[in-house]
Structure 1
């Protein structure tokens, strides 16, 4: 495989989309997914010995743009604007931040099955699968968390990275970070698992199924082969509403919205008694519309199934046995108001890790999304724990 190097200091580009062709990916199911491409972005400069590499894992519908960056001089205006736009973990990643891009070489890759440049259901299938090169659609296979980590390992090889100084992620990103430390223990020096757990619980699976069915029961879904017609945006929006309720806390919803009606809005006939919308309904409608405008329904199903597959113990014995192969430093952190990934699940993970690992707490009124919102707290914990030493 051709080794792809990060941009050198003289032509440094931060937060600019790149692609790596990693070839055929053999999945846990036995399916061989051909011609796999991974989209990724980088920040900083890779040290000659590769010792300063950090992998940041995005959450369910996240993308590769974890922080604002910069395009090279002379780049097209659109590329410059995109690179300089804010990222989803600004404040944690960037110059002078806890994950200092003047010190570390940061990589963020779009998961296989996503729709931000990596191979997924909306990408054309190879000619060996479909001579007409139509989108994968319903034919796209199940990709597990473990499969996604194998794909990222191929990307690391291509970038010339033998080991990560740190692998960090929240929510599904935390599941991938944990899987990295167990699947490739010799390649992870430190691992930060934030608002995540060792395996998807029955309740998490139940929420996942409800979201999947919301999409699959949209008449426009057509079994997943809808790319030549209307997209199932209604079902995708409903899936987002279901998910978003679990991402925020009941207290936050109460204090932000209560039972207040949406101000200065005409009556919507679809609501009982012509009552209009409550503010919380307007909020959920907005979240649904935003996602439907940027995400593919099949990719939502694909990555949601990936998250539902999460079980670091699968084929490895007990949790303690599965984690016994790890040798890295650890940060395990939970959000105190999280009702999707409960703090006690992080307690179970921390207790099963080798050595004396304690669970840290992010204090937030915002529920599960606190892992994104409370970036300064995450950064402080990183500096005090796994990044305390060079």
Structure 2
């Protein structure tokens, strides 16, 4: 697993996080324009992956894809506060010699972006062709446009709004309360996240918001397996699956970061191309388009889908051409030859 050390990072809170490392994936040929991909809440750095193990965005980024690794380098970091190799609650606190766990300091979306900016500098990257991401990754993408407009030609925020909706904050509250009130959570000093039923319930609550009600109804049709509804079995499986691969303290830290991010009043000095998705319960287009209309250089499309918020992870044939067209139109010398 590739990682880069950036030393100490001063957080927005004023706290100093020491010995920060970010795990990353880097694909494409050296010297090509760089596209930074930002993953969502429970994603990781493996956006492109390999032929044997395709990444979570292999349908969009890779050889011959909309984000073409024959033309661009693609770099993806596991977020600060994550649990796939980057500094987070599972990391060793240098002052105690034990994992931070719930003592990991509160972080923000801006902290994540600041860490990645430092990491890119360490990797010798002096500028980006674009930043692209959806959901939490879309929040980071917006923050890149606010904090470092001179560092990137354009940003592509997908399935996101300038600030998280009250509906989204409400579900995050349910998730956080479910986790921290699990008796085995033990103030964050639990043995194994897979033992936390509250973590499973938190994931179930999130899964309900990621797709439209119509899609749930069409997929499950009140079908049962014995005395269990298929939709109940599906949610239970998703909860168990995440609890086995993700850290609950990281989950809480990232949810809290999502809640506090807000660029509503920002006017970005960078080109913005945004996609929203119909039936997105968490980041509806009506929360994004008015803000885009106030930006000096923004354009957007609304993708019609029953997948709702998950639209940015599927049905690439419906919308990847928008990304490809805009990306290849950027004023980058290597693309204009």
Q: Which one of the candidate residues 290, 299, 304 is aligned to 2:250?
A: 299
Q: Where does structure 1 lack aligned partners over 5 or more consecutive residues?
A: 1-16, 71-83, 266-275, 314-318
* Mapped partners of 2:236, 2:329: distance in 1: 43
Aligned equivalent of 1:368: 309
Query: Are 1:256 and 2:227 matched, yes or no?
Result: no
Aligned position for 1:323: 267
Question: What is the match of residue 87 of structure 1?
Answer: 55
Deviations 1:298-349 (A, max 9, x none): 1111111111121125xxxxx2xx224x13x221110112111111112123
Q: CA deviation at 1:46?
A: 2.5
CA contact (8 A) 1:170 1:193 kept: yes
Residue in 2 that maps onto 1:234: 197
Deviation at 1:235, TM superposition (A): 1.1
Partner of 2:328: 387
**Contact 1:112–1:148 (8 Å) recurs in 2:** yes
Structure-1 separation of matches of 2:28 and 2:17:
31
| 1:331–1:386 contact (8 Å) kept in structure 2 | no
Give 1:154's aligned residue: 118
Count of equivalent residues: 331
Q: CA deviation at 1:233?
A: 2.4
Q: CA RMSD in A?
A: 1.5
* 1:30-45 matched pairs, under 5 angstroms: 30-45=14-29
Name the CA distance, whole Å, in 1 between partners of 2:233 and 2:44: 25
**What are structure 2's unaligned runs of at least 5 residues?**
none
8 A contact 1:382–1:388 mirrored in 2: no
TM-aligned CA deviation for residue 231 of structure 1: 5.3
- Contact 1:333–1:346 (CA<8 Å) still a contact in 2? no
TM-score, reference length from structure 1: 0.82
Alpha-carbon deviation of 1:221? 0.3
The match for 2:138 is 174
2:204 matched to 1:246?
A: no
Q: Verify: 1:57 aligned to 2:38, yes or no.
A: yes
TM-score, normalised relative to structure 2 = 0.94
Q: Does the 8 A contact of 1:339 with 1:368 survive in 2?
A: yes
- Asked if 1 retains the 8 angstrom alpha-carbon contact of 2:194 and 2:240, the reply is no
Once the 2 structures are TM-superposed, how far is the Cα of residue 230 of structure 1 from its aligned partner? 7.1
Distance 1:166 1:388 in 2: 11
| Deviation by residue 1:168-208 (Cα, 9 ceiling, x = unmatched) | 00011000001001100100101101000111122221111
Higher strand share: 2
Contact 1:89-1:375 at 8 Å conserved across structures: no
Runs of at least 4 residues off by over 3 Å: 229-232
Aligned with 1:351 (options 288, 293, 300): 293
The corresponding residue for 1:164 is: 128
Partner of 1:216: 180
